[in-house]
Structure 1
Amino acid sequence: MKITEFLIIDLDARDLVDLRTTERHALSLAELEVLKCLVSHVGDVVSKEQLNTAGWPGRVVAPSSLTQCMSSLRKKLVAQTDIELKNIPRYGYSLCIVDEHDIATDETKAETVSTAVQPQTEEGHVAFKSKRLNINLASRIVWSTLVVLAGIIITLHFSGGLKKAVNYIALLAKPQIAAITTQNFEFNHTSSLVSKVFLDSQSTDTSQQATSADELIANWFNYEDVLAASSEKQLFTYDNGQYESIALCNDFGSTCSDRQPLNLVRTADAPVTPLDIQWLADTKLRMEQVTYNKILLDKFETENSGVVEDVYRADVYYYSDTKNVVRADVRLSMIFDSDNRGKLVAAACITDDMLREISIRYQFSGDFKLKQSLIDGKVVKTFLVDVDERSFTSPQQVSKESATIYREIRKNVLQNEQMVIRQVYQDDDSGVWMLPLWGETMVWAHREQVSL
């Protein structure tokens, strides 16, 4: 779907595509439908009611949903100087597209008018000459600066530094964790705690958190025996607009004693699907009899004895309205060369319950830089990874359910030379990560340390 000469909507991939830079922005289902509605009424004012009907058909949503959707669309359109998404107070929104040819014509006319007006007096003539001298001097300074910058850019280009610099700046520009809200709730007659993670681009309206914890598990049933009432539970959740992920430790004291935390993903825009936890536990037990994903411990070469390697392992399950669950067997392995630098290997094998064989496998590795920050009392570790090796096994056939992660890996992992991986919790036996699976997915992983 064409918006402008250089901007289109890839309806199949649900992406906003800049043809000049080939940059892609993933759109949630609501963002896609709202944007399509605005594009079909370019220049007109579209009411909030009409946009709500387009983005959330048959659903009653809070006013903040449309506001947040528009905020997200503006961020994804920020590089498009010829497009403006206007807010019409108390009514709706309008998508305005400026003709760049008209702008250039107006600028030419303005320049013609300004040069046609000449000062008539001697004082005016002197002032005019002085102004021209100042303009010429400023032009020389600008050109000199541009020449120096061009030299620096050419040097960086041939040394390979330009690409790294551009990639690193793009990496830093990615949304960061803005808040981690925490809420107590009762689950299976047990006092529990849920922490919800928000990025910069997301709303952190705590007034909407009152029912969110109950809604997370409202579709679960037959969990009384699997998730015992005798132990405290902690959950971390993240909703990226397309997928909602939940990482649950079933036995939490001062640390997570659960060796197999429950990690679940579902499509956020789809109707809530009932989930039989007992059936899932039986399915997990069968699928996890085979472990396809093994990172060799000798992947890291070091001459120093006593170096400790951190290895994290987790199983993540995507479920929908079918009985076919998709399993991602995830491994994360790293060693530190210093307090904030080291090497990392990440790998995932994806299978599903229908094929029961390896369908997708990917791995990437490289050096990382670690940045730490304190957000809402929680230590957040951000690993900026320079990817130097990657591999991908493309499946011969993909089920409808496993296609969800196949598209995400192709789009968000394989094309990136730098990756951002975040950790929002760690103890001696486990860690909670945001990993590149279904978008960014919350994963509670079991931790082991190995001396090399």
Structure 2
Amino acid sequence: MQTVTPYLELDEQAKQLVDRANNTVVSLTFSESAVLYQLLIADSVCDKEALIEAGWPDRVVAATSLTQCVSTLRKKLEPYPEVQLKTVARRGYQLHISEHSHVKLLAVNDAASIKTALFDVSMLVKIGGILVVLALLLAYWYVSDYHHTFKKVGLWNADRNISLNIGGTKETIPVIYQSDVEHLHYSMWQKHLAPESNFLTDLDAFGGYVATDGHNYSMAVCPDNSKGECAGNGLMNITAIDPNPAGLNINQFATLSERLENRIRYNKIIIPHDNDENQEGDITEHHYHADVYFPVAEELLVRADISLSLIYDADNTGLFYSAICITDEDCLTTPIKYKIRGRFKQYQQSLDGHNVDVFQVKLTQKEFIRPETVSPSAMYFYRAIRKHDIVDDELYFYRIRNDDQSAVWLTPILGSIVAWYKYDQVRI
């Protein structure tokens, strides 16, 4: 077999051209096969005498026999325009095979032809192909969920700390803020706690985070934060939605929040831990619960009872559930309830040195239960949740820190607010 192109071969024994791209053959006469072979092995121009000797050995023929042979050979090569049998005046004939032949569909079992076809193309074609592949990969990455998640995380920063005074105890804690936020002075959080009542006798230390998206200023505090672990007891989550000082009385807040949390429970579940090892069920629900308070000067204190649940069906995907219930301290607002359900993808990202789990949630179900009565204090929340119900199709939740008993989440509902959640597992 003599190779003509990466997909076309000359079979001298069978006197035929084998087209591996189309799985066809082209029959040749003895003279056509011999002349074509002689042209293939020649380094340059092959003179007429050598071709006549090869095509008609031991015979005396006229030069017109060669002319006729070349003519019929050209016709048989017409389907292959990259193979040109050229006449060189006063010298003879030359077979010219283009290095930039047309792309052909090669037989999948013809590894040698495929290799030849790939390596015979010009460097410019190779570079062009590489650029096309890179462009396709870039386009795929640009529209991918990972890229969208990467862009969302890029909106946030955590490279600063502030000093926060809770109950007379000061701690330096991280600030999580969006890139376009200008007001990051500690007073944007501290001013909402009335200084004359900011004293707690049983608070010696605490761990915490503060966050802002430029519209609200939230703080998440764990009083029981020994050796970097939070047991989830006595958590304080406070979010200011008004730029004017809220004047929150911390002494009264501790008592009031306990009364509110014991009065009505919608989302918190109490799980016994004495016999965790004997829990039955083949599904694990990771359940998080937080109470978030929204103080506004001269308004009733509003509480958001929030739960988040994750059920994994793979290492980083699964079902996501969230429920939020809004009430006020005097029960003037009948509960405003909002539930969402969807599928999540979990990504690990670094936010200025903080390891963050990002949950991209694509919503499949939303349920908004309208209240019968809304107090002026809760009207802001009614509008916010109603907007979520209309607009949201995809949400991003950020788990800032996580341990065996609690976690800190930055959630997109009611604005981007940070809160410290109690964590439990439920076997289903």
Task: Answer yes or no: same fold by TM over 0.5.
Answer: yes
Instruction: Name the residue aligned to 1:366.
Output: 342
Instruction: Name the residue aligned to 2:259.
Output: 286
Deviation at 1:243, TM superposition (A): 1.6
3-state SS of 1:401 partner = helix
Deviation at 1:397, TM superposition (A): 2.3
The reply to whether residue 329 of structure 1 matches residue 281 of structure 2 is no
Q: Which has the larger radius of gyration?
A: 2
Query: Could you tell me which of 215, 220, 245 is aligned with 2:190?
Result: 215
Query: Could you tell me which of 195, 206, 215 is aligned with 1:233?
Result: 206
Distance 2:168 2:371 in 1: 44
Q: Is the 8 A contact 2:198 2:250 kept in 1?
A: yes
Deviation at 1:267, TM superposition (A): 2.3
Q: Is the 8 A contact 2:267 2:289 kept in 1?
A: no
Q: 1:394 to 1:170 in 2, by over 3 A?
A: farther
3-state SS of 2:305 partner = strand
Question: Pairwise mapping of residues 166-315 of structure 1 onto structure 2 (< 5 A)?
Answer: 174=152, 176-183=155-162, 188=167, 190=169, 192-203=171-182, 209=185, 211-212=186-187, 215=190, 219-225=194-200, 228-230=202-204, 232-254=205-227, 255-269=229-243, 271-294=244-267, 305-315=281-291
**Quick one: which amino acid aligns to residue 156 of structure 2?**
I
Deviation at 1:263, TM superposition (A): 0.8
**Quick one: which amino acid aligns to residue 372 of structure 2?**
Q
Deviation at 1:244, TM superposition (A): 1.3
Distance 1:425 1:180 in 2: 16
Distance 2:189 2:381 in 1: 27
**Quick one: which amino acid aligns to residue 235 of structure 2?**
P
**Quick one: which amino acid aligns to residue 256 of structure 1?**
C
Distance 1:287 1:305 in 2: 33
**Quick one: which amino acid aligns to residue 375 of structure 1?**
L
Instruction: Name the residue aligned to 2:371.
Output: 395
Question: Pairwise mapping of residues 419-434 of structure 1 onto structure 2 (< 5 A)?
Answer: 419-434=395-410
Q: Is the 8 A contact 1:369 1:385 kept in 2?
A: yes
Q: Is the 8 A contact 1:351 1:359 kept in 2?
A: yes
Query: Could you tell me which of 381, 404, 423 is aligned with 2:357?
Result: 381
Q: 1:267 to 1:294 in 2, by over 3 A?
A: closer
3-state SS of 2:376 partner = coil
Distance 1:221 1:214 in 2: 16
3-state SS of 1:402 partner = helix
Q: 1:172 to 1:388 in 2, by over 3 A?
A: farther
Distance 1:214 1:265 in 2: 9
Deviation at 1:242, TM superposition (A): 2.1
Deviation at 1:447, TM superposition (A): 0.6
3-state SS of 2:264 partner = coil
Distance 2:252 2:265 in 1: 22
Deviation at 1:182, TM superposition (A): 2.7
Alpha-carbon RMSD across the aligned residues, in angstroms, is: 3.0
3-state SS of 2:412 partner = strand
Instruction: Name the residue aligned to 1:441.
Output: 417
Distance 1:281 1:392 in 2: 30
**Quick one: which amino acid aligns to residue 364 of structure 1?**
I
Q: Is the 8 A contact 1:310 1:333 kept in 2?
A: yes
Moved more, 215-224 or 361-370: 215-224
Distance 1:189 1:450 in 2: 37
Q: 1:171 to 1:279 in 2, by over 3 A?
A: same
Deviation at 1:245, TM superposition (A): 1.1
Q: Is the 8 A contact 1:314 1:446 kept in 2?
A: yes
Q: Is the 8 A contact 1:233 1:248 kept in 2?
A: yes
3-state SS of 1:272 partner = coil
Q: Is the 8 A contact 1:181 1:376 kept in 2?
A: no
Q: 1:281 to 1:267 in 2, by over 3 A?
A: same
Deviation at 1:445, TM superposition (A): 0.7
Q: 1:184 to 1:170 in 2, by over 3 A?
A: closer
Q: Is the 8 A contact 1:194 1:213 kept in 2?
A: no
Instruction: Name the residue aligned to 2:51.
Output: none
Deviation at 1:391, TM superposition (A): 0.4
Distance 1:246 1:337 in 2: 33
Q: Is the 8 A contact 1:167 1:417 kept in 2?
A: no
Instruction: Name the residue aligned to 2:391.
Output: 415
Q: Is the 8 A contact 1:379 1:425 kept in 2?
A: yes
In the alignment, structure 1 segments of 5+ residues that lack a partner are: 1-164, 298-303
In the alignment, structure 2 segments of 5+ residues that lack a partner are: 1-142, 271-279
Q: Is the 8 A contact 2:303 2:327 kept in 1?
A: yes
Deviation at 1:187, TM superposition (A): 5.0
Distance 1:354 1:427 in 2: 35
Aligned pairs, number:
275
Q: 1:344 to 1:260 in 2, by over 3 A?
A: farther
Q: 1:166 to 1:355 in 2, by over 3 A?
A: farther
Q: Is the 8 A contact 1:373 1:379 kept in 2?
A: yes
Structure-1-length-normalised TM-score: 0.55
Question: Pairwise mapping of residues 7-18 of structure 1 onto structure 2 (< 5 A)?
Answer: none
Residues 200-256 of structure 1: CA distance to partner in whole angstroms, max 9, x if unpaired?
A: 3335x9xx65x448835653443433x6233x2122111222221111111211211
Deviation at 1:368, TM superposition (A): 0.2
Q: Is the 8 A contact 2:232 2:423 kept in 1?
A: no
Deviation at 1:180, TM superposition (A): 4.3
Deviation at 1:307, TM superposition (A): 3.4
Residues 338-381 of structure 1: CA distance to partner in whole angstroms, max 9, x if unpaired?
A: 22111110001111123356330000011100111122221111
